[in-house]
């Protein structure tokens, strides 16, 4: 294992000419690290460090139109009406007036998540084996995105969501934001990095 980690680290920093495509075993997943092919063990703890790439979420002016990600046709195996994002991890978001969105109870009322409004957002990873890191940030403001993971909820707001595929069913999770606005998930895997932009709106006001 130590040899595998050392080899991956060397490839991440090495320059020079390209190398032949690697052949990974059934217990490994092929990944791009530093532009090079490496083989990492599926679900191994040390995989996570490769996923902490910079957040590449654009900034837009306050009040600007939110460039939400379009809904796609259903993806076989996840059992929902629409899929959001290119995958391999798919969240169960909603469509409001033709825009990808999550609805909030406002103002926040849950005493265990002071200052955060949350809603359940389930995730499925039906076609990928390996680690998936989900983080987020607001496009039209300074706020971050928080998470919690079920079914054994932590009852705290976490800065990230860690999942390991394959997940054929819908894994219970929650998304939290401190205010309505335009937000995005950044989903990082060993093979890809992508964003899913959504609008957080007030679905139900308590006062």
Instruction: Quick: pLDDT tens for 111-164.
Output: 888 889 999 999 999 888 889 999 999 999 999 999 999 988 999 999 999 998
Cβ atoms of residues 60 and 184 within 8 Å: no
Among 65-69, 107-111, 136-140, where is mean pLDDT lowest? 107-111
Q: What is the 3-state secondary structure (H, E, C) of the chain?
A: CHHHHHHHHHHHHCCCCCCCCCCCCCCEEEEEECCEEEEEECCCHHHHHHHCCCCCCCCCCCCCCCCCCCEECCCCCCCCCCEECCCCCEECCEEECCEEEEEEEECCCCHHHCCCEEEECCEEEEEEEEEEEEEEEECCCCCECEEEECCCCCCCCECCEEEEEEEEEEECEEEEECCCEEEEEEEEECCCEEEEEEEEEEEEECC
Alpha-carbon distances of 122 from 94, 102, 162, rounded to whole Å: 11, 12, 13
Nearest to 192 by CA among 115, 101, 100, 130: 130
Of 2-6, 163-167, 182-186, highest mean pLDDT: 182-186
Task: Record the pTM.
Answer: 0.79
Looking up tokens 């083989």 gives 39
pLDDT single digits (tens) 12-63: 334 333 445 567 776 676 666 555 666 776 655 557 888 999 999 999 999 9
Rounded to whole angstroms, the Cα distance separating 53 from 55 reads: 6
For the chain, how many residues are written? 207
What are the structural domain ranges in the chain? 2-41, 71-205
20 conformational bin, left if phi > 0, alpha if psi -120 to 50, beta if neither: beta
Residue 118: Cβ within 10 Å count: 20
DSSP, res 181: E
- The architecture of the domain spanning 71-205 is Sandwich (2.60)
């Amino acid at each position: 294992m130590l040899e595998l980690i050392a080899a991956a680290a060397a490839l991440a920093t090495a320059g020079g000419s390209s190398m032949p495509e690697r052949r990974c075993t059934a217990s490994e997943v092929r990944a791009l690290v530093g532009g090079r092919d490496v083989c990492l063990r599926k679900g191994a703890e040390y995989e996570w460090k490769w996923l902490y790439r910079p957040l590449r979420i654009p900034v837009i002016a306050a009040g600007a139109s939110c460039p939400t990600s379009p809904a796609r046709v259903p993806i076989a195996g996840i059992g929902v009406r629409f899929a959001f994002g290119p995958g391999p991890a798919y969240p169960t978001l909603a469509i409001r007036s033709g825009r990808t969105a999550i609805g909030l109870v406002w103002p926040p009322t849950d005493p265990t998540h002071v200052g955060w409004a949350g809603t359940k957002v389930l995730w499925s990873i039906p076609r990928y084996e390996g680690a998936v890191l989900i983080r987020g940030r607001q496009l039209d403001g300074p706020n971050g995105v928080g998470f919690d993971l079920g079914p054994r909820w932590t009852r705290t707001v976490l800065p990230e969501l860690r999942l390991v595929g394959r997940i054929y069913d819908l894994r219970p999770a929650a998304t939290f934001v401190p205010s309505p606005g335009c937000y995005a998930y950044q989903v990082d895997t060993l093979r890809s990095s992508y964003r899913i932009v959504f609008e957080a709106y007030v679905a139900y006001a308590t006062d």
